[in-house]
Amino acid sequence: MAGRDTPQGRGAVFDVRILLCLLLVFLAGCGGTPTAADTAKADVQHLLDQRAVAVLDRDKAAMAKTGTADWFENVSAVPLASWSYKVTAVRRTGATATADAELRYQVQGYDSAPVTVARTLSLSLDASDHWYVVGEKPAEKAPQQLWDQGEVTVVRGKRSMVLGVGQSGEKLHSFADLADRAVPAVSDTWGTEWSRHVVVLVPKSLEGMAGLLGSPASSYRGIAAVTTGETGAPAQAPADRIIVNPDAYALLGVLGRQVVLTHETTHVATRKDTTAATPLWLSEGYADWVGYRGTGRTPAEAAPELAEAVTERKVPAALPSDADFGFGGTATGLALSYESGWMACRMIADRWSEAKLGEFYRAVGAHKKRPGAVEEALRTVLDTDLKAFTAEWQEYLRDQLD
């Protein structure tokens, strides 16, 4: 009956009011007064903002007000353009908490954008109910930063900056000299449309190198240096880092040290054009080609393992796969892969031209996806196909190494 106040009607109104009240309570809990966890996150972010300012200002007293930082003195020599934290999570237990944060920093004059690394901070409340840091370290599975390993010494070259821990100034200057020679050598072949400067990290030992890479030391034993960076990165991406294994580097001669630094500098220069489509035989082979270019080393001298295989009539049946470059294999197998890639790039430079080699490299990377990338670049740049190229490469190995 329309308009009549029935018991059922009153019950319906009553139910709706209860639901409205419950909804308001729920909304107040979600969007009203902040919870303790929300407050802790905001408070910790404010604390880390103060901590970042203290790092940039090299203000030891201001840093002490935020808590402890064993690495504060270690980083004091590093020229920083920026340093900031972004808190991503806070797990509170009473008067203590653990915070996950992204540390973003830039090396002045070298990084075009901040480098981002994951950090974990342990915190506690003081007598005034304010948070302070009792410990900061790399997050689980995240790499260390050089200042986590000790006091950083900085040496500037004309085209390089070398950061070292546990190394003499003389040793670090020698790396700067190598890097300063590598940069123009790379530009002479690749061109000048890259940063044309490099950052070199020299830890105290192989273990220090592994810590900077977040990997076991066994993965890099015998590897003189590696370059970190994002493949296919845009021009505004952070600068790459050349990370040296001082144990392996010490075993190299003067020429070998220069070849390695030039090889790694090539990776810095070609990073934007090195994508998922680029096979390792091309990226590593090209870097070796630039490294050995102009040294006077013959193929037999620079590729001894491959030379021995060819002499024994064991010419490789195909260009090496990415898996052949894995550190888990034998030293001989890894050497054969690098030498095979180098000889393939050397052949392109010899039989087509150095300019065609660079064009071929860029064309492969521009494909973005691996399937068909090499084949299309062979066709459009070198006017050949994979079968014919492989056969010509095998013949080139016999001609140069037998």
Q: Assign domain 144-268 to its CATH architecture.
A: 2-Layer Sandwich (3.30)
Cα–Cα dist 133/43, whole Å: 12
The Cα 174–Cα 182 span in angstroms is 12
Rounded to whole angstroms, the Cα distance separating 283 from 341 reads 8
pLDDT-derived band at 21 (thresholds 50, 70, 90) equals: very low
pTM summary value: 0.86
**What tens digit of pLDDT does each residue of 28-37 get?**
444 444 455 5
Nearest to 162 by CA among 147, 149, 172: 172
What local confidence, expressed as pLDDT, does residue 152 receive?
A: 98
Quote the pLDDT of residue 129.
92
Query: Between residues 50 and 240, which one has the greater pLDDT?
Result: 50
Lowest mean per-residue pLDDT among 47-51, 110-114, 276-280, 394-398? 110-114
Strand order in the sheet with 96-107: 80-93, 96-107, 115-125, 131-138
Question: Residue 350 pLDDT more than 50?
Answer: yes
Res. 25 pLDDT band, cuts 50 70 90: very low
Fold entry, domain 36-142: Nuclear Transport Factor 2; Chain: A, (3.10.450)
Residues above pLDDT 70, as percent of the chain: 87
Q: Given pLDDT bands bounded at 50, 70 and 90, which one contains residue 368?
A: confident
Q: Where are the domains of the chain?
A: 36-142, 144-268, 275-402
- pLDDT greater than 50 at residue 251: yes
Percent of the chain with pLDDT over 90: 80
Judged against a pLDDT cut of 60, whether residue 265 lies above it is answered with yes
Q: What number is the average pLDDT over the span 302-313?
A: 96
pLDDT given for residue 326 in this prediction: 81
pLDDT at 239: 62
Nearest-10 Cα torsion for 212, 110, 79, 291: 60
Q: Counting every residue, how long is the chain?
A: 402
Q: Residue 183 class from Cβ within 10 Å (0-12 exposed, 13-18 middle, 19+ buried)? A: buried
Lowest mean pLDDT among 55-64, 223-232, 359-368: 223-232
Confidence of residue 266 (pLDDT cuts 50, 70, 90): very high
- The pLDDT score that the predictor gives to residue 19 is 42
Residue 228 confidence (pLDDT): 87
Written in H, E and C, the secondary structure of the chain is CCCCCCHHHHHHHHHHHHHHHHHHHHHHHHHCCCCHHHHHHHHHHHHHHHHHHHHHHCCHHHHHHHECCCCCCCCCCCCEEEEEEEEEEEEEECCEEEEEEEEEEEECCCCCCCEEEEEEEEEEECCCCCEEEEEEEECCCCCCCHHHCCCEEEEECCCEEEEEECCCHHHHHHHHHHHHHHHHHHHHHHCCCCCCCEEEEECCCHHHHHHHHCCCHHHCCCCCEEEECCCCCCCCCCCCEEEECHHHHCCCCHHHHHHHHHHHHHHHHHHHHCCCCCCHHHHHHHHHHHHHCCCCCCHHHHCHHHHHHHHCCCCCCCCCCHHHHCCCCCHHHHHHHHHHHHHHHHHHHHHCCHHHHHHHHHHHHHCCCCCCHHHHHHHHHHCCCHHHHHHHHHHHHHHHHC
Question: pLDDT by residue (tens digit) across 97-139?
Answer: 999 999 999 999 998 888 999 999 999 999 999 999 999 999 9
Which has more pLDDT, 290 or 26? Answer: 290
Long-range contacts of 185-191 (CB under 8 A, 24+ apart): 185/262, 185/265, 185/290, 185/293, 185/294, 186/262, 186/265, 186/266, 186/268, 186/269, 186/290, 187/269, 189/290, 189/293, 189/354, 189/358, 190/266, 190/269, 190/270, 190/290, 190/358, 191/358
Q: What is the mean pLDDT of the chain?
A: 89
Average pLDDT estimate for 76-90: 97
Can you tell me the distance from the alpha carbon of 98 to that of 288, in angstroms, rounded to the nearest whole number? 46
Specify the pLDDT at position 112.
Answer: 83
- Looking at residue 2, its pLDDT comes to 39
Q: Which two tokens stand for residue 386?
A: 């994979």
pLDDT of res. 7: 37
**pLDDT tens digits for range 175-227:** 999 999 999 999 999 999 999 999 999 999 999 999 999 988 888 888 899 99
Q: How far, in Å, CA of 28 to CA of 74, rounded? A: 47
